[in-house]
Structure 1
């Protein structure tokens, strides 16, 4: 049982009274997507419960989907658009778990089905719908029937799956015929199998049902909780170990049956005689802790689609090869390959669950599960949430129903989302990887997150005080026993959105509230949306400079003559653009303030491009701002000069002494 520490009382008050329209809309969307069920457990919430209509989406799923829609609709979104998109997307996601008319044997197995889907899994229903099946698609199937085609010796398997109402027939590959014997064969009704590398034979002009042609890439699932399977594993696969393999004996025809855990799966490209060859290196660890590589070559790499780290793999008659001949670096002189007689069995890693106590930062259950907001004593309380845990003990928070706060973060948390303000950032330079360290602060605290980019910074301009949403974070203790958060750009579920610079935010009234300039607080850590006019334009300051197109920050000419970005610290000769740096007075009915902006925001305010402005004669440049007097705009404003912000001084100080930055602007007609 994992316990998340509670935050202090002041933080709880801040969270409860923050009044953020974006967070409020997430709560509203959750109430629409998650109607209350009368028989729902008031203490434990399980977002991964199979077939439960009452299970709703996690907080991060809703937040990510809203932001992706905002990115797609840059001109703005309405509440109706967002709720419609969310409802449709959630319905499609839940479709696989809705009970369908399927063979009873599958319904019985589904009750104890706890595996996560493999990455390339497709459903049998989708094969019928598309009349297509790609070679790298995976079918996670259950044998509904096994029979011989009348008048032949050809074995057929009728396959179903946990998500489909249809079944489909497979011509069984002859290498598995010895396993389908009617008297005690393992390929019988109710056996689960994984297969890939399938060709689909479709009926011509609607005659006949689609069938799957034979495939070698076929793995039989075993359940070590079942006596028959446990006895098979013990009798056939546990007498040999990696240490007992003899290359000489294998060369003389001795076969081995081996049982080991999959520790890692890596892809390689090997230069062969006629070009590059694809290879998968699967590291296996047996019960003695000995490691051996299991190699897949060429088209065989499709088999790796059927494997998952942490699963137990049983190999019957693998081909024994020399590590030197296979050109791999390993301490073991032997490696295993998928030979013509090899058969594979798998005990899949089951996603265990961890009961996570809900901290006091979640003093209200977001969405409709809060039964009464009038009388808190009558509210439906959830004290713990069941979340999946991998074989290394890391807990997956992607379906966590609540917003996660900095104070909640602990060791071995994955797929965490954070919503907060950037208070510092710098580029880590003494590393071969592209890593930026970002300090994120919310109402409960701050944490440094290491962002690992595939190539280079790819999120446009980011500054101190900007509000960001980050999903796909992992937390762990480093060697100094300090908590670290890491994020990888290409990881599943990874998303980074700078809300302060999001165009759709200004036009989406359901996601913001308009503030007057007198409402702005120098101690606030949020993004304000205001309707303003340009004032005292004769006192504004306009200049142009060169900036790095990727990140929007200014560039410097080095003594060597190279152009270096002040933010990325990389050579960016080919990625330099002319931009504005603007200081201007904003006004509304309640007051005035001096603010600054750069790049696209300044272009929107000045209604001219930097290159066009630069080409104007000097006297016209001087007079140009006067034409903008009293023009109205909706702007996003952030305070980048709060106490404690930007302590590393790693971002070029474009602000001078002006605390308020205009991060986005939209002209009002």
Structure 2
């Protein structure tokens, strides 16, 4: 199946540009996973013909970036190669789990009614009730966005049981209610009743025993009640119950004397998890709140409580009933405030979630110039509705098309780019580990600043390598320049070097074998796979071994006096002592003449894993050979055939600035 699909997608013609097999597969996969999108496209094409300015594309299937990321992550996990069937199966399963259709007739009518006004963004760790039944598993940090179908006492007990449903599932599930919430259901008008939406995390799943009974959720302390300011009853509750106090009215002394408070404020930011506290091994997380008067306070989550932050989103309104008030000294906080808020044993939390803001984005003409833009037809301009976050940035995570460099614009997030690296350098003046990377595609070039958590972590990356980067954000600086940023800590951030990915050589559905003459005419950034034989290993250079930095894969040089004896990596700009430690390894650097079946020849260089694969020996083993054997070794390899990945560095090399050849063998497999 893999071979036939790969062959049907790409036909190589010497007279035309070679279509990128990877891009072709991504578009093919999207059509397979979301066939209903074709019907939407046909309907919208009719609208565009009548009035192009009013045509707005509704995205029903997975975005281009979602599919590309999933394919590459699967390739990374299976270095021995994948087939089209494996990739399509993984994509279909992943999309099905993430986006349940939820159209079963068994879904409670109550949820169908609520779904009409469901306009909030789905939280990151949300799981569906259907998926709980399918997997018979629920992790502690999973989030349930549920609706109370009913709340009843179990017969003969004083135990409350909530029956929950959600907007994406046909099944319901029962939850034993934690006793801290009993007061919210015991009264006739208790707020935790039928039709109330709740957010829940920190649940344990009690599975059915030996096929008897049904799975149930055990009590959890971490439950947040959703309110709707547009509902009269909820609006009255907010004013009467939660707005009775302000941050300015809170007194630490009064709290210590028995006063309780109810507060209502907007979530301004959710701080990162703090895992290294000097005085304690407990984790901590800070939520910055600002009330209606503009006064700010910190809301602190400790230890197991930190997962409650998964239920919150920036821009939402948070109601705190009976929060615990602690001094800065008690909570080991720094700042000008006298105290902060904590999630105490009697605290109840309420959230008015920020509504899902959307913006209509015009699809640029560049999309019509690139393959895979079937949706645009021959019109060239369309519109797509995309979500906007609390800061006003448009989220391109589920953008249906591949994002081109000319599509990058101010105040956007979730951008993914596919292109070739043409320049890269470490920024020595930046705070932290920052590299600037220039990426080019067929529409242009752009610089991106990569912010790493501690050190370079992407492995070998060289000029001419084709990369896929997701999780980029764009903003305009004070100098009116567009700045593209990538932060390794961002959960959506991925960086994959396709030129060095082993699975591309063994996955026929993702590549097409080209001749050396064809790749020499290639103008688009793509993965060049060729079947070649070793015509000659440069006898002038023989087989050289050099020291390499294991972190980045680039060569290490010995520093000149007065620092002689030290080793220096010019790529990472780090210096080692004379022995270098575990980060300094021996590697090959060889020059090779390649030939293909058409007798076309090409001069290339390689290092690292590709050089070891071609020479079929490790650098240390080679150095242990007698000198005569080392001299004779190249001749024993000539005329052996390999499948190789070739990158065009344009005559430049990060490690060898005077390199004459522009072709690098980034991956090799003996055939």
TM-score by length of 1: 0.87
Does residue 653 of the first structure (1) align with residue 652 of the second (2)? no
Q: Which moved more, 1:223-232 or 1:563-572?
A: 563-572
* Secondary structure of the structure 2 residue equivalent to 1:276: coil
- Indicate the residue corresponding to 1:665 in structure 2: 668
Residue in 2 that maps onto 1:565: 569
2:281 corresponds to 1:276: yes
For 1:277, what is the secondary structure of its paired residue? Answer: coil
**2:231 maps to what in 1?**
226
- Equivalent in the alignment of 2:256: 251
> Deviation string for 1:613-656 (max 9, x for gaps)?
222222322222112222222222222126xx78xxxx322662
Which aligned pairs between 1:616-627 and structure 2 lie closer than 5 A?
616-627=625-636
Assess if the C-alpha contact under 8 Å between 2:367 and 2:404 holds in 1.
no
**For residues 458-607 of structure 1, what are the structure 2 equivalents within 5 Å?**
458-521=457-520, 524=523, 526=525, 527-537=527-537, 539=539, 541=541, 542-558=543-559, 559=563, 561-570=565-574, 571=576, 572-588=580-596, 589-607=598-616
Aligned to 2:39, which of 29, 37, 40? 37
Give the stretch that moved more between structures: 356-365 or 404-413: 356-365
Please report how far the alpha carbon of residue 182 of structure 1 lies from its aligned counterpart in structure 2 after TM superposition.
Answer: 5.2
Residue correspondences, number: 633
Further displaced range: 80-89 or 189-198: 80-89
Instruction: Name the SS of the counterpart of 2:509 in structure 1.
Output: helix
Q: Say which is worse superposed, 126-135 or 411-420, in terms of deviation.
A: 126-135
Contact 1:29–1:367 (8 Å) recurs in 2: no
Q: Which moved more, 1:442-451 or 1:200-209?
A: 200-209
Aligned equivalents of 1:321, 1:612: Cα separation in 2: 64
What is the CA distance between 1:525 and its match in structure 2? 5.4
Q: Verify the 8 A CA contact 2:174 2:217 in the aligned structure 1.
A: yes
The structure with higher relative contact order (CA 8 Å, sep 6+) is: 1
Give the Cα separation in 1 of the matches to 2:649 and 2:394. 35
CA, structure 1 residues 178+88, in 2 after alignment: closer, same or farther (shift >3 Å)? closer
State the distance in 2 between where 1:288 and 1:450 align: 38
Q: CA deviation at 1:507?
A: 3.2
Q: Quick check: 1:30–1:366 contact (8 Å CA) kept in 2?
A: no
- Give the 5 Å matches for 1:424-439: 424-439=423-438
Spell out, residue by residue over 1:517-561, the C-alpha distance to the aligned partner (whole angstroms, 9 max, x if none): 333447845343222222244646321111112221111234264
Q: How does 1:356-505 map to 2 (within 5 A)?
A: 356-363=361-368, 370=375, 376=378, 383-505=382-504
8 A contact 1:141–1:192 mirrored in 2: yes
**Which secondary structure state, in structure 2, belongs to the residue aligned with residue 325 of structure 1?**
helix
Cα deviation, residue 592, structure 1: 2.0
Is the partner of 1:44 in helix, strand or coil?
A: coil
Pick from 171, 189, 198 the counterpart of residue 193 of structure 1. 198
Q: Secondary structure at the match of 1:509?
A: coil
2:650 aligned to which of 641, 663, 666: 641
User: Which one of the candidate residues 140, 150, 157 is aligned to 2:162?
Assistant: 157
How big is the shift at 1:134? 4.4
1:436 deviation in Å? 1.5
Kept after mapping to 2: 8 A contact 1:221/1:345: yes
Q: Which residue of 1 aligns with 2:622?
A: 613
Q: Conserved in 1, the CA contact under 8 Å of 2:97 and 2:131?
A: no
Task: Give secondary structure in 1 for the equivalent of 2:455.
Answer: coil
CA distance in 2, matches of 1:524, 1:599: 27
Shift in Å at residue 260 of structure 1?
A: 0.5
Using the TM superposition, give the Cα deviation of residue 201 of structure 1 relative to its aligned residue in structure 2, in angstroms.
4.7
Closer, same or farther: CA 132–512 of 1 in aligned 2, 3 Å: closer
Match of 1:335 in 2: 340
- Distance in 1 between the 2:478 and 2:373 partners? 42
> Is the 1:535–1:587 contact (alpha carbons within 8 Å) kept by the matching residues of 2?
yes
CA offsets, 1:69-103, max 9 Å, x none? 32233333333443343333333333365546221
Contact 2:537–2:590 (8 Å) recurs in 1: no
Summarize the Cα distance change of 1:311–1:591 in structure 2 as closer, same or farther, 3 Å threshold.
same
- Shifted more, 568-577 versus 536-545: the winner is 536-545
2:174 equivalent in structure 1: 169
2-structure distance, mates of 1:213, 1:22: 46
* Distance change (3 Å), C-alpha of 1:173 and 1:601: closer
What TM-score does the superposition give when structure 2 sets the normalisation length?
0.87
Contact 2:100 2:169 in 1 (8 A): no
Q: 1:478 to 1:153 in 2, by over 3 A?
A: same
User: 2:19 maps to what in 1?
Assistant: 19
Q: Once the 2 structures are TM-superposed, how far is the Cα of residue 113 of structure 1 from its aligned partner?
A: 2.1
- 2:601, 2:141 → 1: CA distance? 61
- Determine whether 1:110 maps to 2:110: no
Q: Cα distance 1:655–1:623, how it changes in 2: closer, same or farther (>3 A)?
A: farther
Give the C-alpha shift of residue 312 in structure 1.
0.7
When residues 606 and 111 of structure 1 are mapped into structure 2, their CA distance, relative to the original with a 3 A threshold, is same
Is 1:66 matched up with 2:66? no
Q: Can you list the C-alpha shifts for 1:10-49, whole angstroms capped at 9, x where unaligned?
A: xxxxxx96622221222222222222226844432233xx
Q: Which stretch shows the higher mean deviation, 280-289 or 119-128? A: 119-128
Shift in alpha-carbon separation, 1:319–1:508, aligned structure 2, 3 A: closer
The CA deviation string for residues 329-383 of structure 1, in whole angstroms up to 9 with x for no partner, is 12221212223332211112233211111111112797695597xxx47xxx771
Q: Give the deviation of 1:285 after TM superposition.
A: 0.8
Cα distance change on mapping 1:591 and 1:166 into 2, 3 Å: closer
Where does 1:237-316 land on structure 2 (aligned, <5 Å)?
A: 237-266=242-271, 267-269=273-275, 275-316=280-321
TM-superposed deviation, 1:439: 0.8
Counterparts of 1:618 and 1:154, CA distance in 2 = 83
Q: Quote the Cα distance in structure 1 between the aligned partners of 2:316 and 2:239.
A: 17
State the Cα deviation string for residues 267-304 of structure 1 (Å, max 9, x = none). 3357688x523333221111222110112333433433
Q: Give the 3-state SS of the residue equivalent to 1:180 in structure 2.
A: helix
Output the CA distance in 2 between the equivalents of 1:482 and 1:161: 45
- Change in Cα spacing, 1:270 to 1:19, as seen in structure 2 (3 Å) is closer
User: 1-side partners of 2:134 and 2:595: how far apart?
Assistant: 58
Q: Which of 363-372 and 657-666 deviates more?
A: 363-372
Decide whether aligned partners of structure 1 residues 213 and 624 sit closer, same or farther in structure 2, where only a CA change above 3 A counts.
Answer: closer
